[in-house]
Structures are given as C-alpha cells and as structure tokens.
Structure 1
Amino acid sequence: MTTALVWFRRDLRLHDNEALREAAAADRLLPVYVVDPREYGTRPYGGTASFRFEKTGPHRVRFRCEALSDLRASLRERDSDLVVREGRPEEVLPDLARAVDADEVTMHTWPAPEERAVEARVNARLRDRGVAVRRFWGHTLYHVNDLPTAYTEIPDTYTPFRKSVERDASVRDPLGTPSLPPLPGVVRDGSDRSGDDRSDRSGDDGAVRPGDVPTPATLLADDGAIDVAQSPDPHGRGVLSFRGGESAALARVRSYLWDDDRLREYKETRNGLLGEGYSSKLSPWLNEGCLSPRYVHREVQRYEDERVKNESTYWLVFELRWRDFFQFQVAKHRGQFFSRPGIRERDDIDWRDDDRAFERWARGETGIPFVDANVRELNETGFMSNRGRQNVASFCANDLRLDWRRGAAYFETKLVDYDPCSNYGNWAYIAGVGNDSRDRSFDVLGQARKYDPDAAYVTHWLPELDPLPPEYAHEPWRMSDAEQAEHGVELGVDYPEPMVDPDLDLDYSENR
C-alpha cells in the first residue's frame, strides 16, 4: 500500500493541479500546507540591503488565509483534509512524511531564487530519509517543456518570445479535479468540520491532527495591519472585493466572461481605473495559485466559440503570455533578475537612497495627484490598475531616481496579487534595467489627462481635490492664491505641494 504527501504552496486549487493528481494515484494521500515564518514579518531586502520591508502585507495575508480555508473545505467535501503546520518546510515535511510512512512527496516548482532554495532543502532532507520527491511545473500558460527553445535560450525581449510561442508552442489542456484516496490511517480529521479547528498536532494516540488554518491575527504582528486584513476596504472604494480561494476564482471567471460578458471589450477597457469591469482582475487568484492560467485559456477558447472572437479575446491571452515571459526570464537569469543593475548590468544610473522622498511616495503624498491617487488605492485595497502601476513605478524610479528595488519591495508588501517574477520584472522594465533597451519613462501628467480626463479617478481617491475642476485636480499647483481660496483647496495645507518641479521633471514622451 503506497502513501503520498502533496505539498501545497502557491497552488491552492484542486483543478489543473498536476502535483495533486499524481499524488492521488497512491493508495493513501496526505495534503499538507506549511506556514513558513520566513514569509512573514519585517525583512532586510535581499538579506543585505540597508532598507527593510514587510514580506507579506495584510491584503495578501487575508487573501491567503481565505484561500486556505476554501481549499480545506473543498478537500473535506471529498472526504480528505488539509494538514496545516507552522515551521520551515524542510523540517516539517520530513517529519510528517515519517509520521504517515509516506513513499513520496509531490510538489510544484517555481523559478524565483527564494522558492528554489526552499525546494532544494526540502528535496535534500526527504531524499536523505529515503522519500521520493517529484516536482511539477504548473503555474504558467505554456509548460516549460513545451517552449520552442530551452528556457535558458529564450529572447530577453517580449515580442520575439510571444511570436515564437504563438507559432511553435501549444497550451496543454487543463487537468480535471482528481478523485482523492483516503487519508493515511494515522490521520485524525477530528470533529471540527464546521471550521472550528481546535485540533492539536497530535493526540495521545499519536494521530496526526489537521491543525488550524492561520488567521491574519496569527500571521501579522502589527495591530493596524491586522485591522486592515480583517476589514479590507472599509470605505468600499475599491474596484472589487478580492476573496481568496478557488471557489471565488472560478466565480470571477464565470462573472467576467459569461454573466457580465466583459471579455468582448477587454482591449478597449483594460486601461480603465474605476469599476470592477474594466479588466479581468484575475491576477490575485492566478498568483496565489487558486486559478490555473490553462483553465482561463480554455474558457477564452470556449467564449470565442460560443460568443465572439476578436482582438479583446486575443488580448487577454496576450497578457497571460506576458506573465509567462517574466516567469521564464527569472528561470533564465536567476538572482541577477532582482539585482539593482538588472539583467542589463547597468552601472550608469545614479540611484538615490532618500528615505524622506520614498516615504512621501509610499504614503501617496508626492503632490502629483495621479501618482498619489494610485498609491492610496494600493495602500487601502491592495490593488492598482496596470496603468497606475506603470505610472507610479516610473515616477519612483525615473523622476525621483529612487532605487527601483525599494519600490518593487513596497509593492511586494502591499499588493494582493503579488508575484515575484511579474512584479520585479515590470519594475525593472520601467526602470530601464530589465527586458527592454528603450527609455520607459512615463509622461505622468499626459497619462493622467488621457486616462482620467474628468479627474474622476483622482478625486475618488483624493476627495480633498473634489472641489477642483479637472484641469486643476490633475495640476493643482497651477492655481493662483486667489483660485485656491475660491475653491477651498490650499496647497501645503489641504494637499501637498509637488515634491518635484512638474514642468521640468515630468516631461517624457516614451510610453508603453
């Protein structure tokens, strides 16, 4: 009789989960999630940098806890369970494997250095104890083995990569949810199926207990952060209530594509700023592994067959290919991808370390309304539009010349949809050290006028500017003292004066 242990990581779903499917071929199966303390709390950037940041912020903590609860509920519906432990996976997993006499451990693999290092330690410890380890690639649209070339040889710019996979690669069909074998006999699933997990690690009889699904209060040390996690978007100003879990992910696909029929206009609306329908907003579920990109691809194909096939349906898959591109770039370049010189090894940029400037940027108090509105949305909700991210990153890296990695680390803390490859890849791209040789600085004021012509977005997040007409809401520094008095908005009192000279420092023409 064979026993398998499946280690859930950022793959918190039952559908299209190859590690789960392969483990389910055993006679007995133990699903496990390990809460690694290294993923929480304040950390120095890269272990050596002079600045520190919160590794996983409250928005993502809440989302992850919800996703784990949903996963446990789905497993229990299938007469299985999710064993949850806190500790280092390289220590926890071998102990659990021994407790249930596991023959093998299956897991998904990721390309970023931190994830790879943990995998390597887990692999070594398990093999030392005679437990087989099987790793699978399952978080991208295209499987790494199906690329037209080895991932070490893919181009460093997106367009050649996109053309090659469109021409010479295909997307695998998503895997269905497998039937699950019973839990090992020594596992006690308890009587807490209502979700009240008052179970210890083991009982007097030596049985393995499921353990508690973490809550924000157990993962966050700061009371303010706990409040944010427990009461996300208290003012109801966010674009969408992002609830973690596979169930919510599949519901979002269904509502966006089928119920609301939004996909047909995706290309025209994707640069929007307000409302839940301007883009798919699937990224939180994709990046936490609650949703498979191959499942999304199949649903797009079905939509094209049953509704309409147009530029918009193509463009959603186009964006999934962008996501893949950064995953394979990290696999190719490893740690260099996260270094300050980037993959272009640039040493000609005089990056600044200015704590006061960074703090103003991070609080949304730069005095540039389009930047501040986007940052305040991020801080309050954990989400920001793609258009907003590009402009906020450009202002930080190109106008303030602050170390781009510090901005990327701030996004790592705040984003509900954080993914290391996409986040640092996009920041490096904007900062001029990544996957493009062109100047990617943004004309922030031009972007504001183009994408928020009525200043509806700016005044939504900066209500102190609501009394102003659109032209002044975007550029309040142009008001005279008399106009400030007339509208009841005094610069330096009601809203900050700009921290840079907008006429000199925000005049760029190269836009993505």
Structure 2
Amino acid sequence: MESVPVSVVWFKRDLRVSDNPALVEAINGPYPVLCIFNLEPERLERADVDPIHIEWELDCLTELRTALESIGGSMQFNLGQVTDQLSELHETYDIKHLYSNEETGLQWSWDRDKSVAEWCSANGVEFTEFPTNGVVRRLGTRDHWKKHRDARVSSEQINTPVAMESPKGFTSNSIHSMEQLGLAARTLVERPLPGEKAALNVLYSFLDERGRTYRKDMSSPITGWDACSRLSPYLAAGCITIRQILHHTRRKQKKVKVNPRSKENLGWTSSLSSFQSRLAWHCHFIQRLESEATMDVIALNPELDGHLAREMDVERYAAWSQGKTGWPFFDACMRSLIATGWINFRMRAMLQSVASYTLWLPWTDTGLHLARCFLDYEPGIHWSQVHMQSGVTGINSIRAYSVRKQSTDQDPDGDFIRTWVEELRDVPKEHIHEPWLMSDEQQKEYNCLIDVDYPSPIVDEKTARKEGVSKSYSAKSKPESKQRSLLVYEVHGSRKRR
C-alpha cells in the first residue's frame, strides 16, 4: 500500500498558532499536515536547564495542542532524538516537506538542527526554515543589521489559520508529565499562566494600563513587578512574537499621539518609546548568539577573559547563589528571583555584576546559576548580558553596580528587603541597608543578631568592587584584548543609525 504524502511542522520554541509562518506555509501546501514536538534527553541533562523550564514549556505545549486540535490538527510529542521521530513517521507516511522556524540557541541545538537537515537531505525531504523575530541568519557584519531587523518586525503578521487537515489516523498523543520525566520543578510564586492566549492577555494588560509608568518604574524590583511587560517567559517559549508585540504597541502609540497630554494618555509617550527600545535590544542580543553559539563556555573576548583569570571561591559562590551575602538588598533580589523565577532587568545586571566584579567569581558558573533561576531563560539574551556585566566583551563599558546605591535608590524604605529577607523583618529603615552597623543592643531589640540570624558582609563591598574594576580595566588595556575587541565590534557591535 502506497504511503500517504504529508508535510511535517516541527515545533521548537515557537509554541503558537498565530504569526507562525512554518505552520501556515505547511497548511497552504498540497499535503495533509503532521505537527510534532521533540524533547531531547540531552537537554534534560544540561547545566543551564532547570525543571521549571521544562514544566513551563510542556504547559505551553499543552495549550498549543488544544489550539491545533480546535482547527483540525494534531500534535505528537516525542522524548528522544528528533531524527528518530522523523524516521518513524517516514515509515508510515511519505514525508515530502519539513517546515520549522529558525531557533537561535547554544551549540547543542545547532548540532541538532544540522542533523535534521542532513536527515532531510538523505531521505529526499525538502526542509524549509523561516526567520524568527529580528535575528538574521548568516550575518557577516552588523552594518545595516538594524535595517533588516526593523523591516522584518514591521512587516505584516502571518494570518492565524482557522482550519487544517491532518492525515487519517494521525492523532495527538499524551505529553509526558514531569513525574514521567523524573523531574520536580520548584513551585514558583505567582507563576504566569502558560500559552499563547495568556501571552496576548498579558500584552493587553500592559498596553491597557500597567505600562503607563514603565519608563520610571521598570528599574525597581518593587514597581517593576507590575510596570514591566512580563512578556519574557512567553517570548522565550515562542508563544508570542516581537512582530505581534510591536503591532499592538504601535496601535497604542497612534491612539496616544492624538492627544498625548490628556489624562487618559498621560505618561504613555515616553513609556512606549522606552518599551520599543527594549524590544530592539531583545533582537540585538540574540543576534550575538546567532554568530557565537558557544557563549555559555567561551567569552566573546577570550584574550580579555584570560587576563581576568577569575577563580571559583566555593564560600563566596554559595553566599552569592543563595542570597546570603550579608548585603540585604542583594540577598532580597536573589531570593526573590529564586522564589518567583523573575526579576527586573536592572537587578539581573546587578546580580551578575556583583558576582563578577565584587566577588570575582567565574562568569560561566554564575551564569549557569542565573540561567536555572530564570523562568524566562533565553540563551541569546542571557549569555550576552552575562558577558557584558562581567566585562568580557571588550566593547562594552565596565559597569560594576554598587549594592548600597541600588538599595537606597530602589528600596529606600526597605520594604522589598523585609519581604524577602525575613531575618530583617523587624529592622527599621535607618538600619535596614547596613544592619551589621547596629549595636549589640539594637540587634537584640530588632530580633536580628549579626552572624547568628543574618550574616555580616562576605567582603567589604566598596573595596572589593573597586579592586575588581581596577583589575578589569588593566585586563582590557592589554594589546591582545584590544585587538580582539576590534573583531568583536565588527561582528557584534551596535550600529544605532545603520
């Protein structure tokens, strides 16, 4: 009996039906469509992957499966190698065409994608990939990248399909539970709802009201919780695209421009402008990983990184990673991140900066810890930021955050500190930022004995930070570091007007 010819849509981190060119092209083609998702055992073992990532992705996949079934499609889940899944399907069906959207990831995912391309070539299957957001594949230089990026994310959205045909006998199978995978994810406080519909609802709530104070409130972990878009977990799973977000943002912008000083529109002009800038950064940083798939293990400027020669200090790493450094605001930020899976961008930068400059810890190890903490872990953005905040690019400014300054700027009354560092819940405002300066009597009065209930600072923050900055400038000035920096800029440097 002759096999039924089919097209296959391979879903990866693009878990949506709307604005999905791979899905729509397959549906518009001449063959019935099979939809597949593959979870690689290798990924479960990776040091940058945490069970919260897998649970989030599978929950979003479940929502996608429901959406596909509502228009006549089916989704099959597989745990194993995707080429094995394709081979098994090819024995039952005659796969004519494989469609997918490009994914920018670390080296292991590049190797996976290349193995799929090789499988298609060996089996006479046409393989078509579509660009994702503003990332340009095979980009030689950053000259004119912005023009390509802007044109792509400003183009018309792909229409959402309303019907599709699956071959007879092809039905959805069950998606593995976390228990079946042998994984247990930590419970996150106020974890977002998964899936494409939830992503759009979060976007609408941001553009309806939450984003009004985005520009002035995004830097604080207190106000940023509501004022930031909170779309990052959905972007990481591909439940929504930059093009979709920009489309709705620009619609809002047009409404605001009619009467920007009205009570209804007050505050929106600057906030929408800042928000669009950050969306551009999103593509800019992921573009770096597109060209350097080993950013989790090799610095963009390896010569500079070699001169820095940071070494692991187990005691410092433990205090940093657990939020037990003795710096209340820092510890609150780390504990909040671990509990919720999210913290605002400025505080992410501070967490990494303190690790690299003040504590002089290796960025590879600290970067892995933060990757596991973030529900919205996006390798391109994450490792680009780790490199920048650790001073290993050679083209970015050395920016070492003062914990004391961030503490008084972002949490002047200490409310955030008391929320996440329970040992300090009774400490008043005048001592909350530097509790180790309290007298013995005050420590007893406020139920916080230093080095008993809460640690004293692991190092003198100001002295250690300045020492780290000095060593970083010295390493950056070395001839070989400067030479590599020229190459880094050519491939990765921002061209604001081009």
Q: Find the partner of 2:159 among 176, 179, 186.
A: 176
Task: Calculate percent identity across the aligned residue pairs.
Answer: 24
Change (3 A) 1:91 1:165: closer
Give the deviation of 1:179 after TM superposition: 3.6
- TM-score normalised over the length of structure 2: 0.85
Residue correspondence of structure 1 range 53-452 to structure 2 within 5 A: 53=47, 55-112=48-105, 113-138=107-132, 140=133, 142=134, 144=136, 151-154=139-142, 171-187=154-170, 189=171, 210-221=172-183, 225-226=184-185, 228=186, 231-233=187-189, 240-258=190-208, 261-274=209-222, 276-307=225-256, 308=265, 310-335=269-294, 337-343=295-301, 345-346=303-304, 347-434=306-393, 436-452=395-411
Find the counterpart in structure 2 of residue 28 from structure 1: 32
Structure 2: unaligned runs, 5 residues or longer: 257-264, 470-498
Change (3 A) 1:344 1:316: farther
Give the deviation of 1:165 after TM superposition: 6.7
- TM-score normalised over the length of structure 1: 0.83
Preserved contact between residue 57 and residue 413 of structure 1 (Cα < 8 Å): yes
Partners of 1:93 and 1:169 lie apart in 2 by: 31
Preserved contact between residue 12 and residue 103 of structure 2 (Cα < 8 Å): no
Give the deviation of 1:311 after TM superposition: 1.8
Give the deviation of 1:442 after TM superposition: 1.0
- Is 1:13 aligned with 2:16? yes
State the Cα deviation string for residues 323-363 of structure 1 (Å, max 9, x = none): 1111111223342x334443363121021122232122111
| 4+ runs deviating over 4 angstroms | 164-170, 506-510
Residue correspondence of structure 1 range 454-493 to structure 2 within 5 A: 454-493=413-452
Change (3 A) 1:170 1:119: closer
Preserved contact between residue 85 and residue 92 of structure 1 (Cα < 8 Å): yes
More divergent stretch after superposition (486-495 vs 306-315): 306-315
State the Cα deviation string for residues 405-447 of structure 1 (Å, max 9, x = none): 1111112222100011100000100000127332121112111
Does the residue aligned with 1:85 lie in a helix, a strand or coil?
A: strand
Preserved contact between residue 358 and residue 468 of structure 2 (Cα < 8 Å): no
Preserved contact between residue 152 and residue 331 of structure 1 (Cα < 8 Å): no
Partners of 1:469 and 1:423 lie apart in 2 by: 36
More divergent stretch after superposition (98-107 vs 55-64): 55-64
Does the residue aligned with 1:107 lie in a helix, a strand or coil?
A: strand
State the Cα deviation string for residues 374-423 of structure 1 (Å, max 9, x = none): 11112112112212211111111111111111111112222100011100
Bigger helix fraction: 2
Find the counterpart in structure 2 of residue 203 from structure 1: none
Find the counterpart in structure 2 of residue 206 from structure 1: none
Preserved contact between residue 285 and residue 417 of structure 1 (Cα < 8 Å): yes
Does the residue aligned with 2:127 lie in a helix, a strand or coil?
A: strand
- Is 1:38 aligned with 2:31? no
Partners of 2:121 and 2:313 lie apart in 1 by: 47
How many residue pairs match? The answer is: 452
Q: Which amino acid aligns with 2:270?
A: E
Q: Which amino acid aligns with 2:234?
A: W
Does the residue aligned with 1:7 lie in a helix, a strand or coil?
A: strand
Give the deviation of 1:161 after TM superposition: 6.7
Partners of 2:307 and 2:94 lie apart in 1 by: 56
RMSD: 2.4
